[in-house]
Amino acid sequence: MNKIYNIGLLFIVLLAGSCKKDYLDTEPTSSTGTSTAFESTENAKLAVNGLAKMMTVQYLSSQGFNGEGTIKMYYGNYPGNNFYVNLPGWATLINGTINENVSSIYDYYPWYYYYKVIGNANAIIFYIDAAKGSEADKNFIKAQALTYRAYCYTMLAQLYGNRWSDSNNGATPGLVLRTDLSNGDLERSSLGATYSLIYSDLDKAIELFTAAGKSRSKNFEMDINVAYAVYARAALTRQDYPKAEAFAVKARTGYPLMSVADYKAGFSTPNSEWLWSSYGASDETLYYYSYQSYIAYNSSASAVRTYPKCISKELYNKIPATDIRKNLFLDPKTDPYTTATGAASAALKARAFQLFPDIYSTSNVYAYMQFKVKANDQPGVGNVNHFRSSEMYLIEAEAKYYQNKPAAEVQQVLVDLTKNSGRDASYTCTKTGTDLLNEIKTYRAIELWGEGFDWFDMKRWGDPIVRRDYANGGNFITSLAITITPESNNKWTWKVPLKESDYNGALE
């Protein structure tokens, strides 16, 4: 695995023909070229593995950016509504006031990272047809590259594009759509054109996956179910509810919901409902820059030991006592803690170590601390999930609701996800109308907590973020206990970074 990943990364970085701008840092560093990398489908398979590896690589030197894990933490969790961490020094990022600072590295990172993957995917798409090998292998390789490109553009559209409801049906600016090996100036396409490209990439990928008739061997590889899942998420974000529902059902087919035991196992090892993830083991670690080093409750990394990650008190209180997920967070009960920050008293800390003895010995403990995500090895080793069938159930429920399908159909999806999976054997749902929509939102927040959806969901819904301090029934520190309206901060839309407009004359 280590050898395959490293060779794949070497090939993919060396031949990134569509990302030749200096600021993307993809210039060749040896004599290896495209003729070698794409001489055969066997070599091209390594290039696809390189795409997978790029999602778990440290970027931009000392900033701690770690591929997809950083997107989840810095852009999905930290600025959301239900994720608390005692980091007042990060208020500009957490409170969403930095997204218009075009010279900020935080504005730049997602653009840099996703376009780096896109550029390498473009090289695979362009060269694979001429490689030696079977047509089935070529189809499977190209399908994966197209799915990677669609995924990256989907994530970029959520960050740098308006929410669909603010887009005038897709007329507002979208992304710079680079789909070939050219490196010239290029204007932003509309948000509608951006989603059209995502759809066409996925349509072609699904066609090629079907024609290939092949299956993957590892969870970090892509297959047709991953393409369906990307389609479902993209369609939901675009408010294309018929497609969102249809592809969500297709995506989760063959991926049954995990058992209760698996749910409590730490979200660091693929199980039955993991549709797609990034590989993470002791031979492929980013040490203190990995996703788990920022969130896993048992990590030895200072980012966790000093600043444990917590669920918001208000969301925690919405989880029924009969729900197994309530036990994945530290209920302070009658034990005291510092209400200014949530720091645990000696009694609460002792109870936490009794409940979860694998907490790192020098770790701080906070009220409502999370025990959902753990590390398989130190300081933060573990696989990182990107799509689960649980998300597909939730997409299906939301898409049905917005299509005005019978409430009973929506209720049944929530029952299947929550009761029939064993998450809460006592769960029932009889809600209708707005109450039913709020039920979907609540259970989406509970189910997907800590997995990088929080901010993205709130933006998509156009809901305000409302964080309260302890004096007002919440558990956020004062500097983070704010309300962020949907109209604030450029409507939560990140601006195109200066490093792009400086090199791309069409954006000047």
Task: Check residue 493 and report its DSSP letter.
Answer: P
Work out the percent of the chain whose per-residue pLDDT is above 70.
Answer: 93
Phi-psi region of 331 (alpha: psi -120 to 50; beta: other; left: phi over 0): beta
Output the six-digit token pair for 145: 């590259």
Distance CA 109, CA 73 (A): 13
CA angle 367, 370, 373 (to 5 degrees): 165
Tens of pLDDT, residues 342-357: 999 999 999 999 999 9
**Per-residue pLDDT averaged across 175-184, rounded?**
92
- How confident is the model over 58-110, as pLDDT tens digits? 998 766 799 999 999 999 999 999 999 999 999 999 999 999 999 999 999 99
Instruction: Choose among 309, 344, 310, 313: nearest CA to 473.
Output: 313
* Domain layout of the chain by residue ranges: 2-262, 385-464
Q: Is the pLDDT of residue 265 over 80?
A: yes
CATH 1.25.40.390 fits 2-262, yes or no: yes
Give the pLDDT score at 61.
74
Cα separation, 508 vs 485, in Å, equals 30
How far apart are alpha carbons 203 and 200 in whole angstroms?
A: 5
Closest by alpha carbon to 236, among 249, 225, 223? 249
* AA letter at 348: L
Residue 481: count other Cβ atoms within 10 Å of its Cβ: 18
Lowest mean pLDDT segment, chosen from 20-34, 66-80, 164-178: 20-34
6-16: average pLDDT: 42
Scan for tokens 């040896």, then name that residue.
30
Query: Residue type at 48?
Result: V
| Separation of alpha carbons 390 and 393, rounded Å | 5
- 311-324 pLDDT, tens per residue? 999 999 999 999 99
- Model confidence band, residue 37 (pLDDT cutoffs 50, 70, 90): confident
The structure tokens listed for 188 are 């932003």
